[in-house]
Amino acid sequence: MSGHPKDAVGDDIPPTLLGLMCCRRKSDLKKLAQRTVIARDEPANIILAALSGGLPWLHQRHHRNFTPEHLEWGEKDFAAIRESKPGKASPPAQKAMNKTMSMFNERRLLNGHLFYTPDLSNWHLIYFDQRDYSDRDNHWTQGSHLHFINYLWPQRDAQSTWDEFRSGNPMMRGSLHVAWRKNEPLRAQPQPASVAERESP
């Protein structure tokens, strides 16, 4: 498949994840993102289509658990727990246990997917963590969502953006919020006949 990815889907850009990936101007992308609601199964379907060669993009994924350094247990924490008496935690032991409770609130279970052409000129990153995926206490007023950023950001390129996502506690400033309705029923769609696995570049 040659040319810009939009050439493969026609002139009308639908309010879907694939539609976002086919926008040629950032202003159009921002407008489309505001009215797009991604169906529960669409990201998985696009990944399968990319892996099977049905789309002009290659695919890489990255999943990890990011825990803030101040919540990591050290030898002092383990020692405080070992030395505590049953039913009566010492202040150091209580501090160690508080770290554990805070960890569930502050850690990030990150999921990122990079779609890119072989020359890296056309790329798209979608990512989310467990808090983005949650319907309760979500930082975005519209609830469950994923983040989207791509080659239309003038100060970004595929490699440095992907490196940023895979290190530290990525914030990816400027990324778009796109509604993702995880509780919608799955849509029946034909699956690719085979999935050709590709080595990451």
Question: Looking at residue 72, what is its pLDDT?
Answer: 64
State the pLDDT confidence band at 86, using cuts at 50, 70 and 90: confident
Question: Looking at residue 84, what is its pLDDT?
Answer: 73
Question: Looking at residue 189, what is its pLDDT?
Answer: 44
State the pLDDT confidence band at 29, using cuts at 50, 70 and 90: very high
Contact 18, 9 (CB under 8 A): yes
Whether the pLDDT of residue 197 is over 80: the answer is no
Question: Looking at residue 7, what is its pLDDT?
Answer: 43
pTM for the full predicted model: 0.69
pLDDT digits (tens, 9 = 90+) for 37-51: 999 899 999 999 999
pLDDT digits (tens, 9 = 90+) for 121-137: 999 999 998 777 766 67
pLDDT digits (tens, 9 = 90+) for 94-117: 666 665 655 556 666 789 999 999
Burial (CB count within 10 angstroms: exposed 0-12, middle 13-18, buried 19+), residue 40: middle
Burial (CB count within 10 angstroms: exposed 0-12, middle 13-18, buried 19+), residue 175: buried
Structure tokens at 116: 């890119």
Whether the pLDDT of residue 159 is over 50: the answer is yes
Element (H, E) at 186: none
| Residue 38 phi, psi dihedral angles, 5° rounding | -80, 130
